[in-house]
Amino acid sequence: MPQKTMVEALNLALDQSMAADDRVCVMGQDIAINGGVFRVTKGLLEKYGETRVIDTPLAENGIIGTAVGMAIYGLNPVVEIQFSGFTMQAFDQIEQNMARIRNRSRGRYRASMVIRTPYGGGIRAVEHHSESREAYWAHTPGLKVVIPSGPRNARALLNAAIQDPDPVVFYEPKAVYRAFREDVPDEPETMTIGKANIVREGEDITLIAYGAMMRPVLEAAEDLVDIHHVNVEVIDLLSIKPMDTETLVESVTKTGRCVIVHEGPRTCGIAAEIIARLNEKAFEYLIAPVKRITGYDIHFPFFQVEQHYLPDPDTIIEAVKETMAYE
Amino acid sequence: MSSKTIETSATPPPVATNTPDAPIVETLSSKSSCDTPMTEKLIDLGEIQDISILNEDGEVNAALDPNLPKVELLKIHRAMVLTRKLDRRMLNMQRQGEMGTFAPGLGQEATQIGQIYPLQKNDWFSPSYRSFGAQLWRGWPIDQLLLLWDGFFEGFAPPEGVNDLPFSIVVGSHVPLATGIAMGMRNRNDESFVLVNFGDGAFSQGIIAESMNFAVVYKSPIVFVVENNGYAISTKSECQAGIAELARRGPGFGIPSVRVDGNDILAMIVASQRAADHARSGKGPFLIEAVTYRMSLHTTADDPKVYRNDDEVEAWEAKCPIARFETYLKKKNLLDDAAIERIESECEQEVLDAREVFRKKAIAKPREVFDYMYENLPPELQEQQADYFAKLDRKGVE
Ligand SMILES: Cc1ncc(C[n+]2csc(CCOP(=O)(O)OP(=O)(O)O)c2C)c(N)n1
Ligand SMILES: [Mg+2]
């Protein structure tokens, strides 16, 4: 199987989706001739032309709003917002129209579209280029929110998002973009939005994460198993909304202990939601309080100190050991 | 070298309604009132001047030459040279791993220094990220700008006594703040004004339209400068907007506008001075479109070869704002090659000295990340801070 980076895998998903369905079009800033600032849309202009690979003016709210219009008309736009920090410019159209048009039109219209956008820290970027604000979109009724963690699931998840009849916010962990390669088959793969993936089975404790945080989590898991002899179960959430509560509950019912990791701010973050669901559905199985390792409730620090902000394997190991020690 | 006029309607040369004296808002609204007779007629949107004073060969249109005093001319020249030296040095440092991603301003020195020239200490400036020439003029120490671009948050803080905002990375997002400051000035009969700049790409952001409208509705003292440098990353200006002359947008809001050769420092100064006078005298906002070219990379993460060819860049090299100004100064016997060389090496030295200061100051302070979140850190955040400090302690980080 061909080995691909996440960037290449996403490119493959777009390419194959566009080849398979001429309603699929991509739009965003610098995505056509430049192939996107991260090159995810590279080569698409040459193949599909400028009516389907659309360089837009520098206006995120305009991009999303017009994409919703195109979707109402029957197209299937896959929008790129250059950095997730700039989805904030489009809060208006995401919340007011993209998320609502189906309900407002009582099902007559739908916004079958995807917002692809790189999120997260760790690339030594300037301000506004490192945020993780998936909780905003998870909090918005009408949206789906998914976050892949590696090349193969990125490709499958993007296919699923494009085929989904409803609007999907597709967060791409930019720290993973070129971090490693994985086998990605040529034949199209998809996956069910709303299903988590048990990456590693274990009995002692459940570790839940998604996106770029899967890497420090898996690194920590290795040490926990090898050095600390803790048999961890690791779950990659993949879909933030809808969330695979069943898989999470099943796992924690088995282990009785849980640590959740995300890089976004703590208050009202995704971990808070997971804890609430475990509280509702697995309370009597919990042996220890569920811990969360998250970003802090501060603005993402400038890059000279960002490594201290981001959850790291040591901090995760500490949290697991503390949770294991709880009686 | 001319002051030609862009017509904004199909009428025969109209009487300018957007001259500084005309009450723009009233004029437009009276024309659109609904008791007009049942006829078809044209609405006069006025005219926009396109100003060029110093051509590519350093020849000047004497009638338009602002005839600045010698000391001023030399000060301006030096500022442009210093801007370029810093720009080159930063690129060099970035390439050697001593600087983060940054946005070079090569070729836009006249646009930068020209727009900032009329500002006094009490005036305000809201810059975008490619404005360090103007920031230097305003009194930002070089070492601080280096800190900022190398990922130290403290580099963002405006120096004491400099009425500037931290520059904007989210394009356009800094423009309403500038309008708001100008509205404050208007409230307080403050005779200062605000300068705000943004790119041709940023001009597509809706918030800039909102900001221009507020400025004119409240007749606030603000000068908008759109730096039309041909590109927004890979997107050419012609793909960004349906009009080549972005200055045309001013009259639509009722804001008088000029278009300027942004590589012509004299034209930039004339336009900026005119705009500043307009704003200071209570007549409301003004828009300048500075036509220039981004000679270098969008940022150090960009590869322009993907989207533009070298011929285009070379053609603009001939329009270098510094070279043509030097020809002009030489003809005036204010400079010769030896003097230019001396100024260049002095500026280079100034940058190198600042780099030393920067190197001494470039110490990460991870314990400060909570310090400026609130006036008083709420207890729950104090708890998070304590957690964070414990993590630093565990890692042995100061
Ligand atoms: C709201 C927003 N969207 C996207 C970006 C990413 N971005 C940074 S600079 C830039 C192009 C800006 O072009 P322009 O306004 O013409 O200014 P220039 O870079 O040419 O000086 C883009 C798209 C951003 N910083 N802010
Ligand atoms: Mg530009």
Please report the DSSP string for A63-76 in residue order: HHHHHHHHHHHT-E
Judge whether residue B344 has pLDDT over 80.
yes
**For residue range B92-114, what is the model confidence (pLDDT) as tens digits?**
999 999 999 999 999 999 999 99
Taking an 8 Å cut-off on Cβ atoms, the answer to whether A30 and B234 are in contact is: yes
Mean pLDDT of B182-197: 97
Rounded to the nearest angstrom, the distance between the alpha carbon of B198 and the centre of ligand 2 is 8
Please count the residues of chain A. Answer: 327
Taking an 8 Å cut-off on Cβ atoms, the answer to whether B235 and A57 are in contact is: yes
Judge whether residue A320 has pLDDT over 90.
yes
Residue B8: the pLDDT is 62
Q: Which candidate from A29, A266, A267 shows the least CB-CB separation from B235?
A: A29
Rounded to the nearest angstrom, the distance between the alpha carbon of A129 and the centre of ligand 2 is 19
Residues from A in contact with B at Cβ < 8 Å: 29-30, 33-35, 37, 55, 57-59, 61-62, 85-86, 88-89, 124-129, 266-267, 296-299, 301-305, 308-309, 314-315, 318
% chain B with pLDDT above 70:
92
CA B382 – CA B384 distance, rounded (Å): 5
Q: Which atom of ligand 1 is nearest to the CA of B108?
A: 21
CA B285 – CA B250 distance, rounded (Å): 9
Q: B33 falls in which pLDDT band (50, 70, 90)?
A: low
For strands A114-119 and A182-183, give the pairing.
unpaired
- What interhelical angle do B206-217 and B24-31 show, nearest 10? 100
Residue A140: the pLDDT is 98
- The residue whose CB lies within 8 Å of the most ligand 1 atoms, and thus the one to mutate among A27, A56, A58, A61, is A58
Judge whether residue B155 has pLDDT over 60.
yes
Extract long-range pairs of B172-176: CB within 8 Å, 24+ residues apart: B172/B198, B172/B202, B172/B203, B172/B205, B172/B207, B172/B208, B173/A89, B173/B205, B173/B207, B174/B126, B174/B127, B174/B128, B174/B198, B175/B126, B175/B202, B175/B205, B175/B207, B175/B208, B175/B211, B175/B224, B176/B207, B176/B210, B176/B211, B176/B214
Q: Minimal CA–CA distance to A143: which of A71, A275, A240, A78?
A: A240
Ligand having the closest approach to the CA of A58: 1
Judge whether residue A288 has pLDDT over 50.
yes
Mean pLDDT for chain B overall: 92
- Amino acid identity of residue B251, one-letter, is P
Q: A197-325 has which fold?
A: Rossmann fold (3.40.50)
Rounded to the nearest angstrom, the distance between the alpha carbon of A223 and the centre of ligand 1 is 43
Give catalytic residues of B, as residue numbers: 294, 298, 307
Residue B202: the pLDDT is 98
Size of interface A-B (CB pairs under 8 A): 109
Q: B47-361 has which fold?
A: Rossmann fold (3.40.50)
Taking an 8 Å cut-off on Cβ atoms, the answer to whether B101 and A308 are in contact is: no
- Residues 6 or more apart whose CB falls under 8 angstroms from that of A89 comprise A59, A60, A61, B170, B173, B205, B207
Closest C-alpha to ligand 1, atom 3: A86
CA B279 – CA B288 distance, rounded (Å): 12
Please report the DSSP string for B110-130 in residue order: HHHHHHHTT--TTSEEE-BTT
Judge whether residue B12 has pLDDT over 50.
no
Chain B closest-CA separation from residue A38 CA (Å): 10
A125 is written with which tokens?
């970027």
**For residue range B260-293, what is the model confidence (pLDDT) as tens digits?**
999 999 999 999 999 999 999 999 999 999 999 9
Residue B23: the pLDDT is 41
Q: Minimal CA–CA distance to A102: which of A167, A55, A10, A197?
A: A167
For strands B235-236 and A144-146, give the pairing.
unpaired
Rounded to the nearest angstrom, the distance between the alpha carbon of A4 and the centre of ligand 2 is 34
Q: Minimal CA–CA distance to B67: which of B268, B335, B270?
A: B270
pTM score: 0.94
Helix (H) or strand (E) holding B392: helix B379-395
Chain B closest-CA separation from residue A36 CA (Å): 9
Helix (H) or strand (E) holding B328: helix B321-331
Residue B93: the pLDDT is 96
Torsion, Cα B13 B19 B23 B27, to 10 degrees, reads 10
Q: Is A82 in the pocket of ligand 1 (CB under 6 A)?
A: yes
CATH 3.40.50.970 given to domain A3-183: yes
Question: The complex's ipTM?
Answer: 0.95
- Residues 6 or more apart whose CB falls under 8 angstroms from that of A168 comprise A113, A114, A115, A143, A144, A145, A146, A161, A193
Judge whether residue B45 has pLDDT over 80.
yes
Closest-approach residue (CA) in chain B for A86? B170
Query: What are the residue ranges spanned by the domains of chain B?
Result: 47-361, 369-395
Residue B36: the pLDDT is 66
**For residue range B212-240, what is the model confidence (pLDDT) as tens digits?**
999 999 999 999 999 999 999 999 999 99
Residue B318: the pLDDT is 95
Q: Which of residues 191-210 of B touch A (CB under 8 A)?
A: 201-202, 204-207
Q: Which candidate from A30, A128, A302 shows the least CB-CB separation from B233?
A: A30
CA B132 – CA B129 distance, rounded (Å): 7
Strands (E), B203-339: 222-228, 231-232, 235-236, 257-261, 286-291
Which residues from A are below 8 Å from B370, CB to CB?
Answer: 296, 298
Instruction: Compute how many other C-beta atoms are within 10 angstroms of the C-beta atom of residue B29.
Output: 11
CA A158 – CA A160 distance, rounded (Å): 5
Judge whether residue A109 has pLDDT over 90.
yes
- The residue whose CB lies within 8 Å of the most ligand 1 atoms, and thus the one to mutate among B111, B233, B299, is B233
Query: What are the residue ranges spanned by the domains of chain A?
Result: 3-183, 197-325
Strands (E), chain B: 2-7, 47-52, 124-126, 194-199, 222-228, 231-232, 235-236, 257-261, 286-291
Q: Is B233 in the pocket of ligand 1 (CB under 6 A)?
A: yes
Do the domains at A3-183 and A197-325 have one common CATH topology?
Answer: yes
**Which parts of chain A fold into alpha helices (H)?**
6-20, 44-48, 60-73, 91-93, 101-104, 134-138, 151-163, 214-226, 245-255, 270-281, 306-309, 313-325
- CA angle at residue B201 from B275 to A61, to 5 degrees? 115
Judge whether residue B210 has pLDDT over 60.
yes
Rounded to the nearest angstrom, the distance between the alpha carbon of B72 and the centre of ligand 1 is 33
Chain B closest-CA separation from residue A59 CA (Å): 5
Ligand having the closest approach to the CA of B202: 1
Whether omega before B118 lies within 30 degrees of 0, making that bond cis, reads: no
Judge whether residue A221 has pLDDT over 60.
yes
Please count the residues of chain B. Answer: 398
B44 is written with which tokens?
């006069």
**For residue range A52-83, what is the model confidence (pLDDT) as tens digits?**
999 999 999 999 999 999 999 999 999 999 99
- Residues 6 or more apart whose CB falls under 8 angstroms from that of B72 comprise none
Q: Are B215 and B182 in contact (CB under 8 A)?
A: yes
Chain B closest-CA separation from residue A62 CA (Å): 8
- Residues 6 or more apart whose CB falls under 8 angstroms from that of B71 comprise none
Torsion, Cα B263 B87 B313 A32, to 10 degrees, reads -110
Q: Minimal CA–CA distance to B115: which of B219, B265, B282, B229?
A: B265
Residue B46: the pLDDT is 83
Residue B44: the pLDDT is 86
Residue A293: the pLDDT is 98
- Residues 6 or more apart whose CB falls under 8 angstroms from that of B359 comprise none
Mean pLDDT for chain A overall: 97
Closest-approach residue (CA) in chain A for B129? A126
Across A49-63, A158-172, B40-54, B76-90, least confident range: B40-54
Taking an 8 Å cut-off on Cβ atoms, the answer to whether A37 and B235 are in contact is: no
- Residue that the structure tokens 């020809």 belong to: B327
Give the residues across from A80 on adjacent strands: A28, A116
Taking an 8 Å cut-off on Cβ atoms, the answer to whether B151 and A298 are in contact is: no
Q: Are A85 and A131 in contact (CB under 8 A)?
A: yes
Pick the residue of B156, B306, B361, B374 with the most A CBs within 10 A to test the interface with A by mutation. B306
Residue B22: the pLDDT is 43
% chain B with pLDDT above 90:
86
Q: B168 falls in which pLDDT band (50, 70, 90)?
A: confident
